[in-house]
């Protein structure tokens, strides 16, 4: 029996609202270009990193589910694909950043470094950290992610119309082969885009930290979307066990994020090397101290304690609130990674440009993905394993 789910036809108001948000954000960013172009680039990068890590986190989740032929996530596959489908837009929105590399990355002009040692280090790292390499590598990352996401989504969509099509083998093979490639590209993307903001600072845990945050952010967004789609009647047959499973995954990866964050800190704190601790010292002085403490609470303590509850994980409305909280706290995390590197001594670490960038990226991604989902079903109705996925039950 083929399960039936209605096509997504609405969302026009959502599309208009998010497009409006994005236009408003774009206007703010353009104003920022005249007022404070340096801060604008940092704000733009923070919001970009937020959106890109969530989209790639969704891609990794999608590929893991295909690679291990997971059962229950089939019911949420189309929504995961929708999160991933923002990647082409994100590739496009990455381009403006390329015109301002010299404003945010000190490695673009090693000769300007005041310290002799730093200048020497930057010269030494030049074969990797240079503008041409940066652009080519970014192209490769987006190509890898875009191709994997596009193929998986296209095969899945095609089977909606032709359920007799057997694409399981292809999806499974591509995901199994693609996961290490995607994993490596995520590692180097986090080196390039975020770690090289301070080109003298190195941490091998850093890519795991960024990935863990993006992955739990993607799970949070998926949970919130699932709740919204089910309320709109797009996901018939979904039950509390699916939410519970999402909740457990969020709990596990919240703990994983905390593990990565703490051990990155512990190793650097124990070794106490001046060039390594600088990263944490910058985030422990002035207004950043409060943000650091708040981040630990918001990103780990609050969601962890909330998600421990059995009942909360089975109530879509409450779980969606925690999930949305996680998505927002992931932005605070990205902001915390990027903005202190601006070395702007302000008493308040947040800027109206952050809000503008957030509106721009949030609005643009929602509008774009809404448009891509329109006319499609919110469940992979052609997949023969969907009925079993809907029967999923966990106590």
Q: Binding string to other proteins for residues 36 to 55, with x set by CB under 8 A, is what?
A: --------------------
272 is a contact residue toward other proteins (CB under 8 A): yes
| DSSP state string for 90-105 | HHHHHHHHHTTHHHH-
Among the listed ranges 43-51, 186-194, 267-275, 320-328, the one in contact with other proteins (CB under 8 A) is 267-275
How many residues form the binding site for other proteins (CB under 8 A)? 9
In the region spanning residues 162 to 181, those forming contacts with other proteins, defined by CB under 8 A, are: none
393 is a contact residue toward other proteins (CB under 8 A): yes
User: Please, which residues have CB within 8 angstroms of residue 170's CB and are 6 or more apart in sequence?
Assistant: 155
Cβ burial 258-297 (10 Å sphere, 16+ → b, else e): bbbbeebbeebeeeeeeebbebbeebeeeebeebbeebee
68 is a contact residue toward other proteins (CB under 8 A): no
Minimum CB separation of residue 190 from other proteins in Å reads: 24
Alpha carbons within 13 angstroms on the beta-carbon side of residue 187 total 10
347 is a contact residue toward other proteins (CB under 8 A): no
CA angle at 296 for the pair 291 and 302, rounded to the nearest 5°? 115
269 is a contact residue toward other proteins (CB under 8 A): yes
Residue 8 CA to residue 10 CA, distance in Å, equals 6
Strands, E, within 266-366: which ranges?
none
Residue 89 CA to residue 312 CA, distance in Å, equals 34
Q: Binding string to other proteins for residues 296 to 325, with x set by CB under 8 A, is what?
A: --------------x---------------
Among the listed ranges 166-174, 178-186, 264-272, 344-352, the one in contact with other proteins (CB under 8 A) is 264-272
Using the minimum distance from each CB to other proteins, give the nearer residue, 352 or 392.
Answer: 392
**Residue 201 zone, left/alpha/beta (φ > 0; ψ -120 to 50; rest):** beta
392 is a contact residue toward other proteins (CB under 8 A): no
Using the minimum distance from each CB to other proteins, give the nearer residue, 65 or 261.
Answer: 261
Minimum CB separation of residue 293 from other proteins in Å reads: 13
Minimum CB separation of residue 347 from other proteins in Å reads: 27
Question: Which member of 265, 336, 360, 368 binds other proteins (CB under 8 A)?
Answer: 265
Provide the sign of the torsion angle of the four alpha carbons 267, 269, 271, 273, taken in this order. Answer: positive
What residues line the site for other proteins (CB under 8 A)? 262, 265-266, 269-270, 272, 310, 393, 395
């Amino acid at each position: 029996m083929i399960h039936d789910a209605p096509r997504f036809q609405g969302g026009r108001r959502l599309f208009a609202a998010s497009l409006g948000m994005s236009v408003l954000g774009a206007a703010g960013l353009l104003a920022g270009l005249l007022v404070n172009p340096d801060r604008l680039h940092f704000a733009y990068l923070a919001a970009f990193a937020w959106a890109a890590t969530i989209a790639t986190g969704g891609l990794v989740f999608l590929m893991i589910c295909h690679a291990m032929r997971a059962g229950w996530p089939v019911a949420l596959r189309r929504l995961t694909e929708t999160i991933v489908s923002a990647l082409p837009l994100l590739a496009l929105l990455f381009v403006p950043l390329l015109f301002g590399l010299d404003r945010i990355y000190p490695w673009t002009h090693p000769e300007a470094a005041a310290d002799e040692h730093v200048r020497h280090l930057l010269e030494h790292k030049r074969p990797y950290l240079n503008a041409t390499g940066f652009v080519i590598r970014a192209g490769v990352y987006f190509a890898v992610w875009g191709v994997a996401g596009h193929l998986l989504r296209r095969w899945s969509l095609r089977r909606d119309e032709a359920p007799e099509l057997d694409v399981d083998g292809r999806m499974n093979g591509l995901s199994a082969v693609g996961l290490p490639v995607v994993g490596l590209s995520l590692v180097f993307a986090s080196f390039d885009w975020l770690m090289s903001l301070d080109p003298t600072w190195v941490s091998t845990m850093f890519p795991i930290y960024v990935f863990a945050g993006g992955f739990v952010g993607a799970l949070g967004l998926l949970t919130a979307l699932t709740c919204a789609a089910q309320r709109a009647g797009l996901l018939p047959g979904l039950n509390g066990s699916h939410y519970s499973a999402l909740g457990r995954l969020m709990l596990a990866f919240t703990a994983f994020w905390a593990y990565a964050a703490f051990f990155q800190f512990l190793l650097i704190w124990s070794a106490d090397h001046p060039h390594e601790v600088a990263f944490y010292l910058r985030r422990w002085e002035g207004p950043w101290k409060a943000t650091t403490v708040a981040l630990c609470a918001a990103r780990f303590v609050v969601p962890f304690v909330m998600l421990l509850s059995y009942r909360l994980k089975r109530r879509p409305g409450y779980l969606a609130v925690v999930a949305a909280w996680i998505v927002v706290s992931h932005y605070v995390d990205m902001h915390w990674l990027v903005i202190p590197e601006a070395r702007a001594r302000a008493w308040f670490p947040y800027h109206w440009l952050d809000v503008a960038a957030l509106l721009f990226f949030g609005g643009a991604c929602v509008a774009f993905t809404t448009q891509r989902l329109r006319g499609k079903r919110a469940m992979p109705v052609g997949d023969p394993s969907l009925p079993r996925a809907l029967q999923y039950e966990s106590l």
